[in-house]
Each structure stands twice: as C-alpha cells, then as structure tokens.
Amino acid sequence: MNSRPYYTLDDLNTDNKVVLLRIDINSPLNPETGEILDDTRFKSHKKTIYALDDSKVVLLAHQSRPAKKDFTTLKSHKNKLEEVLNRPIGYVEDIIGKYAREKIKKMENGDIILLENVRFLSEEVIDMSPEMMTQTIFVKTLSNLADLYINDAFAASHRAQPSIVGFPLVMPSSAGLLMEKEINELSLALNNNSSPATFVFGGNKVSDTLKVIKNILNGKKVDKILLVGLVANFFLFSKGIDIGEQNIENLKREGVLEYKDEAKKILKENPDKIILPVDLAVKKDGKREDIDIVSLPTKYPICDIGIETFVKFSKLIKESEIVIINGPAGIFEEKEFSYGTYEILRAAGEAKHSIIGGGHTASVAHMLNLEKKVSHISTGGGASIEFLSGEKLPGIEALEKSKTRFKIPDIEL
C-alpha cells in the first residue's frame, strides 16, 4: 500500500470491474468543420487506458462549456480516441438515460465506451457543495452501475464539479497514471526554493490568473512575473494606459474590467516583480506592426507582444533557476503573431528547470519538439498554475477523502 494520501492504480484490482474513468480531452476545434486540431490530451491518457485492458471502461469527458462556440458533442472525440488508441471505442449519445445505462450493463471486459459531453448535464455546471454533488442524479445513477472511479483528468481537477468531485465521495477511487505523473512533477517545482523563480502568464483567463498571481505573491516564492497576452493587456489598462477602444472592448467582452482595482493594487505593491511588455504587435491592414507602449492608444487589435519584449523576457527566462509558463503570448495560430509565444517557450528550454502548462501552450511546446528540453509539459492550464500557487485542487482533495472513506482491506476489490 502506498503512503500517498490518495490511491493509485497500483492499489486497485481493476480486472473485470466497471470503471468510470474521467479524462480531459477538451481540445481546440476548427470552428467551421469541428475537426480536432490537436491530439495532445488524447495521447496523454493512453497509458492509463491501456492499464485497464481487463476492465469495462466508461469514459467521462467534456468539451468546452455552455455558451461557448466550441461547446459540442463528443462524436469527433470518439473518432480521435480510436485513432490514438488503435482500438474501437463505443460512442454513447447519452449520459444517464436508459440508453447509456443499458450500454454499460452490456459491457464485456476490454470494452471502452465514451459517454456524451458531461457538461450537457445542468448538474455538472451548477455551483454546489461536494456533499450536494453526491446527491445528484448524475453521480447516483452512474456510481450504481460501476465498481470504481479513476480520475485521470488533471487538467479539469481545479473545477469543483460532480464528475471530478462527486464520484470519489461515494465509491472507491484512485488517481490515473497521468494524474499521478502531474502531481509528482508539479510537486517537485512547488517545493523548489531555487532563485530566481519566474512565472509567465498569458492567454485570456484573466480572472483565474489574477487569483493565482495573488496566491503566488503571498507565498513569496517568485522573483519575477512576466505578463503577456490578454492578461498583459488587462494589466496595462489597469495601470492607466489607454490600449485603444477595440482592445478595451475585448476586455469588456471577457468580463474582466471589474477586477481593475485588484490589478492596480498588485502593480503598486509589487513594482519590481510584475513585468509588463515594453512593446506590442498589432494587426494593421492584416499585417504585423510592432509599436512601443508609449505609442498607445492604438486603433488596431493587439495580437502579440513586440520583438523588444520577447527578447527581454527570453533573457529573464534563460537566467531563471525555475520557470513556469502558462498561456500564449498572442494569437499564435497566425504565423505573424506566433513569435512571442514561440520565443518564450524556446527560452524555457534553456532554463535550469522549466514547466509549461496550459492546453494551447502545451500544444505549441509539442509542436516545437521541446519535450526533451523542458522539465515537464503539463496537460493542465488553470489546474497546473493553481497547483503551483499552493492551492489544493478539488479533484485531488476528493481523491484524498475517498481514500479515508473507502479502506482497501475493508472493501471487495
């Protein structure tokens, strides 16, 4: 028996068992065709799924969230899973209805089925306490049809939702191999007191990032926080810099202007730690144009950090003992605005210890063949950063509670 506060696959006998396996295959999609553009997360679950060869595996997964353009069914995900695993996957266009229940009851050893997007269920997206989650129809229905629950969805484990938190509280549960690896790798970084320690935040999850920045600063384990992407635009605006009407409207659409005073306070209290871009790249008549911060406001959309910024940031990253990067520096899908993201990630490969997190950022890291140059490429975006900020992820906490509730010697496994 391991000494970890949660069970791992080594602790469980999964043979001939019905296993609910929560995975995270939430991926970027082609907006026109629905085609999956990156299979990194699919590949990350291969070892766990292969380890369950003698089980009846019921996959729980999601794609995006309600009201988002890429909120859709998992039909194309089923096809991608078959391609990655090289084995048949049953796709069930149902989650807790009669069709899904009958499919699960008829499974044989070695079968794998993928249920529909769990976020189609309102119970999955309603805010409630962990104990209330155990009383949802979702959890009650599926837990009565399965023997074990395994959470391999590290990237979604910062979300307190029934598919992540509810099941471990009502049935024997463990971490999957990917989950275990993520915890091991990120714990090494979390307990690393090396200096200089540098965090790089980008992407567009401003409110989540703001919370993590405050936690990191309170923990005093950071020397520099470099800001890029929409996060940087938000902090520049909060500092009192007019970034242009179009870019301010973008912040309004993301619903982040209410956090302006918080960001302003952080900048005032940490002038030497928070590093903002010195120049930016805008899209002018369809082309890239780098402009100095003093040239703002601009009537054009900001799409990347400027050349001077990524040269400056790359130097700071290379000089770091440990660097953690989360989120792209711009619209990296467009070649002219990919330079900031690419150069920052390449610089991470030269730091002594480097961790890259975030779905999109991780995808670029794989594309640049950085697997052997960086210490760890995490599947988690918000999850990896919240973990590194010292927060206990709801998904991991639920697994720990499960271990205390279901003692292996006392249950028939």
User: Which residues define the annotated binding site for substrate?
Assistant: 24-26, 41, 62-65, 119, 159
For 253, 254, 295, 306, 335, the CA distances from 300, given in Å and listed in that order, are 17, 18, 12, 14, 18
Check if the beta carbon of residue 164 is closer than 8 Å to that of residue 178. Answer: no
d(CA 268, CA 274): 9
Q: What is the DSSP letter of 88?
A: -
Annotated binding site for (2R)-3-phosphoglycerate: 41, 119, 159
Residues 6 or more apart whose CB falls under 8 angstroms from that of 98 comprise none
Whether 51 contacts 23, CB under 8 Å: no
CA angle 111, 98, 411 (to 5 degrees): 60
Query: DSSP letter at 315?
Result: H
C-alpha angle 151-390-118 in degrees, rounded to nearest 5: 30
> Residues annotated in the binding site for ATP, as ranges?
333, 358-361
Residues in the annotated binding site: 24-26, 41, 62-65, 119, 159, 333, 358-361
In angstroms, the Cα distances linking 295 to 255, 285, 290, 407 are 26, 18, 10, 64
Query: 3-class SS at 25?
Result: coil
Question: Helix, strand or coil for residue 259?
Answer: helix
Residue 329 · residue 304 · CB < 8 Å: yes
